[in-house]
Structure 1
């Protein structure tokens, strides 16, 4: 799954500002930059393995990998990331959450695998996203764009900072979502334990009461029998 996001903003800007925005947009369009992202959710049954793939078409591209276990068991999963030549880039056991960025030094298809082998009955719900990004490089000289480079540089820097902050906000929201799901699961587990503890406690109290009545009755019956015999 590949998702592209385009954001447009409009407002009352001076003519010079509009010209700078137009020039910066032209530069960004002509740059051979490329960002591909996939945000997915998968459900793994017990003893199931699932792999997802991302293509890197240039050596040196940045590859981002994020996942978080939303529900199931103790919220952990085994994972592994392999290069196109089946070299293990990173792997882990019983991890709850991961957010990494690595450099794709090989051209080809990278695999991102999850394995729920440790669970015998719990299925795992996993949210994850994979991003492949190449830094923009100006291959074709553009004289008109070069003249406006000094004016458009602050605008490009501001756009880059906004993108970084939005990414950080998105990561924070995902973190809070994971914490909310885990805390909700903890609350449900605690409620279930309290309920069954109360049921067992009530049964024990009833059993003790019945036993006390039986013992007292038995003692009095034996005592009255002995008294009549005397």
Structure 2
């Protein structure tokens, strides 16, 4: 089985755990779609099985909660394609046996990480349960190596997400500290300037009072003659 392109962060092989007569597979996943990347997932589906897939962008970062969606059959023929949608639901019948590809493309965003929740439900059609079970077991044997690889990749991605959250928190704290520091410096400058203005006003008022008092008691001065008119 060939590897996906480097633009795809992770490939998960979804496998069936419990079988019943009416429902072969039903699972909900929540994924992170990094900006400028696409996330693709594979699941083995037998011919004539019913596919019911629902997805919704539950968080769009600071932008619009939109994402591109694509569903392809084992021959890489596109069955469903949607662009810039916040949610969608599709029901169809598988006509070929193999690994179906589900892709969430976030290349429409350069900075915003999207969080997408999707549910994949596979139900039996007109085939016997035992035949479908044996077919799926044979298909899953081909994905054992990829499953182990993707489990490791999943842990690495979780660590990366936690590190990213820690960095965002640190950046948020630094931004608050810078804003508080700028506000304190601005208030200090305003108080300092206002204090100088009051100090100069007090000096001017004091000088004016001294001049007025001297003019009252100095009978030969020009100001005394001026006051005498009133």
TM-score by length of structure 1 reads 0.45
Higher radius of gyration, 1 or 2:
2
TM-score by length of structure 2 reads 0.45
